[in-house]
Structure 1
Amino acid sequence: MSTREKVLSEIAPAGIIRAAVNMSNAALVRWDDQAGALVGPSAQIGHKIAEQLDCGLSLIQYGSAADILAAADRGEWDIAFIASDPSRADRFSFSPPYISVRATYLVPEGSAFRTVGDVDAEGVRIASAKSAAYTKQLERILEKATVSHTDSPAAAIDRLVRSQCDAAAGLTEFLVQSLERITGFRLVEGAFSEIPQTIAVHRRAIHASAFFADFVHRLNASAGAP
């Protein structure tokens, strides 16, 4: 059996790769009305994978990383474009990063907070999606402020809008998008984290894991990445 056949037997036994994408991060994937399709790095890489393996591709949209993880238990996807997270290494194998995204805070216009460092103060409540990789990083670095978990990135913003917290954490691109539908809020300066984005497969897919490690290395090399 060839390497291609071994990989496909693990992630596309029916000839189609089901690839999970996180629609809460427009920097990685978004719907383009003019193109009539999903566009962005995750979508583009998904098509490159399908082309290289000579198979079909189905991009499955999820509202958050938490939704993707829950769908894994139901066997809904074969590969996923999600952040690398050592705490999930018992369930998934992660490729090297193909891109990194930044996370920051959304605050009310009248807030005294100007930079990410200002937000880490006594009594400050930060709403953040409980299953997001940036939330875990945030909880590790905060010294004074506390994190209030929400079910999704959108729910964190809703909590801020209802004045139930002092700041909402999220991926910069998603927070910028949110400003199109709400007023009276702004981003602080800087980022509290950069989150590496990877291609994840189930731990049992050992041949696919090796394939994606090599695939991303070659992808980054061709793009001039270090």
Structure 2
Amino acid sequence: MPLSPTLIQTFAPTGKLRVGINLGNPVLASLELGTGAPKGVSVDIANAIGKQAGVAIDFQLFKSAGATVEAMKNGSLDLIFVAIDPVRGADISYTPPYIQIEGAYLVKSNSPFQKNDEVDRPGNEIVVGKGSAYDLFLTREIKQASLIRVASSPAVVTEFMSGKGNVAAGVKQQLEVDAKRYTNVRLLPGRFMVINQAIGTPKERANSAEITSYLSAIITNLKSSGFVAEAMKRHQIEGARVAE
């Protein structure tokens, strides 16, 4: 159902819904070849929300989740697609997740590491995208290894191959794509974390709870109706699944 004029004013105060799209996660979004327009599961969901709410969408593109979150904090965005994390949760209200993806480790082919639990050892250096979900997770969980933070998730493997660290961490799908560019790397089997992707809105705004409830109902419907699964198939997303 469309939102009331009062909630529209809170939800989209500029008259358009300013949506942050994170291009650093290929599971969520990328750019159309030729046009440069954003495409992906998060773009499809944003358009569905705009249609149901009765408000136009203003897509704003970012290279990392961290930059997207910062833009929301400074008031430039109304809605973002990011991983659920308790640190971000201080400022962001989340819907239930719509997609689950995995965090994985990538190492050089001659690395002695065979398992994920071998990484957190003294002297090891893990390259991560600054402000990413796995950066926040590893910051809490890693006890003995150290983290090397680089500008964005897509830059992780490039920096790793240039000589930084001895482990690269990231979204499994991104690492699989990056691994095809090199012949001397491999992914460690399994995952070190599950990443729940959700919609976030500014917690400090008036009627925040009502807006989050409204969006949560939309996400629940988009999952149960098959919309999210069909969007993943259409955009050829593999290795992720619709969140329960």
**Which residue of structure 1 lines up, in the alignment, with residue 169 of structure 2?**
169
**Which residue of structure 1 lines up, in the alignment, with residue 222 of structure 2?**
219
How far off is 1:103 after superposition? 0.8
Task: Provide, for residues 113-160 of structure 1, a one-character-per-residue CA deviation record: whole Å limited to 9, x for no partner.
Answer: 233223233321111123112122223333432222233224432331
**Cα distance in 2 between the residues matched to 1:178 and 1:77:** 30
User: Given that residues 92 and 201 in structure 1 are in contact (C-alpha distance below 8 angstroms), is that contact kept between their aligned partners in structure 2?
Assistant: yes
Aligned amino acid, residue 40 of structure 1: G
How far off is 1:39 after superposition? 2.3
**Cα distance in 2 between the residues matched to 1:92 and 1:140:** 19
Q: Confirm whether residue 86 of structure 1 aligns to residue 89 of structure 2.
A: no
How far off is 1:182 after superposition? 4.5
Say if 1:3 and 1:47 are closer, same or farther in 2 by CA, change over 3 A.
closer
User: Given that residues 138 and 192 in structure 1 are in contact (C-alpha distance below 8 angstroms), is that contact kept between their aligned partners in structure 2?
Assistant: no
| Gaps in structure 1 of 5+ consecutive residues | none
**Cα distance in 1 between the residues matched to 2:141 and 2:212:** 30
How far off is 1:172 after superposition? 1.3
SS, match of residue 86 in structure 1: coil
Written as runs of structure 1 = structure 2, the 5 A alignment for 1:58-137 is 58-137=58-137
Q: TM-score, normalised by structure 1?
A: 0.88
User: Given that residues 129 and 151 in structure 1 are in contact (C-alpha distance below 8 angstroms), is that contact kept between their aligned partners in structure 2?
Assistant: yes
**Cα distance in 2 between the residues matched to 1:125 and 1:172:** 19
Matched residues, percent identical? 28
**Cα distance in 2 between the residues matched to 1:51 and 1:35:** 23
Say if 1:6 and 1:213 are closer, same or farther in 2 by CA, change over 3 A.
farther
Aligned amino acid, residue 186 of structure 2: R
**Cα distance in 1 between the residues matched to 2:35 and 2:163:** 38
Aligned amino acid, residue 75 of structure 1: G
Aligned amino acid, residue 70 of structure 1: E
SS, match of residue 33 in structure 1: coil
Written as runs of structure 1 = structure 2, the 5 A alignment for 1:1-226 is 3-33=3-33, 37-203=37-203, 204-205=205-206, 206=208, 207-223=210-226, 226=244
Task: Provide, for residues 27-49 of structure 1, a one-character-per-residue CA deviation record: whole Å limited to 9, x for no partner.
Answer: 11112327864222101101110
User: Given that residues 122 and 144 in structure 2 are in contact (C-alpha distance below 8 angstroms), is that contact kept between their aligned partners in structure 1?
Assistant: yes
Say if 1:139 and 1:74 are closer, same or farther in 2 by CA, change over 3 A.
closer
Task: Provide, for residues 68-127 of structure 1, a one-character-per-residue CA deviation record: whole Å limited to 9, x for no partner.
Answer: 122224322110011112222231111110111111112112212233223233321111
| Gaps in structure 2 of 5+ consecutive residues | 227-241
